[in-house]
Amino acid sequence: MKNALKKKLKAFFKPFYRLSRPVILTPVRIFFKGLINYISFFKDLNEYNRLIPTKRINFREIYPQLFGKTSATKLDPHYFFQQIWAFGLIKQKSPKEHVDIGSKLDYVGMLSVITNVTFIDIRPINVKLDNFQSKAGSILNLPYPDNSIYSISCLHVIEHIGLGRYGDHIDPNGSKKAAKEITRVLAKNGYLYLSVPIGKPNVCFNAHRIFSPYDILSMFDKLTIKSFSVINDNGEYIIGANLEDYLNAKYACGLFCMVYND
């Protein structure tokens, strides 16, 4: 009886939740912008119902999306360009197998079109996809023997390690330990494709760290840099950049292609 009542109450309140969800727990500026956008939403709803009076949308079928009417598509330059950069270099090398550690899912999914991909993350995903598998693992304890992986990518990940953002333990040396562990599993003559925030060193707790470009070379001192590109503070993608030009950047993204030829 109680379960039946709960289901009825859930069904009754669900449309109200969907109606209010776009502005629930949003910052004040977004909240008031959302309230204004409801006017446009209901105007569009009425227009739709007017054009198809025999198939009117009822209250239980509304799913308000209030912030899509923009003059330009929202773009995060770091993530957009870094994935193009890494995908292009990996495609050029054509490895038989590739391991990615914690990068964006759309990027690793697309990589499966050109090679066999294993995705390592503390939060593995369960998907069925050709040439793709996901394994649970920590960047501080990768499930591979020493010097066993010939192609690794890790995009916008190591700057978070040790800050607790994703439930990991607090550790001021987390990024350095992650670099050491990646180096451990990288095979001789193996390639690493790494992206991190670069510029004037800082810890923006608990979001991320910003590294000097030379800090990265020091952390991966057993590797040789093959190429360096960058997404600068203006969101511009620059291929073949100079490390020295970004020592005082605010929040650029360094793209490091490195090889282990010790």
pLDDT of 224 strictly over 70: yes
Whether residues 219 and 256 fall in one domain: yes
- The C-alpha atoms of residue 238 and residue 142 are separated, in whole angstroms, by 32
Amino acid in position 11: A
Question: Mind listing the pLDDT tens digit for each residue in 87-140?
Answer: 999 999 999 999 999 999 999 999 999 999 999 999 889 999 999 999 999 999
Angle at 104 between CA 229 and CA 249, to 5 degrees: 35
Q: How many domains does one find in the chain?
A: 2
Whether residues 165 and 255 fall in one domain: yes
Question: Mind listing the pLDDT tens digit for each residue in 139-156?
Answer: 999 999 999 999 999 999
pLDDT value of residue 12? 83
Whether residues 81 and 209 fall in one domain: yes
> Is there a domain that residue 25 lies in?
yes
Whether residues 45 and 172 fall in one domain: no
Query: What domain range is 216 assigned to?
Result: 77-260
Whether residues 52 and 101 fall in one domain: no
User: CA neighbours within 13 Å on the CB side: how many for 239?
Assistant: 6
pLDDT value of residue 1? 59
User: Residue 262's pLDDT band (boundaries 50, 70, 90)?
Assistant: low
> Is there a domain that residue 68 lies in?
no
User: CA neighbours within 13 Å on the CB side: how many for 91?
Assistant: 13
- The C-alpha atoms of residue 170 and residue 158 are separated, in whole angstroms, by 13
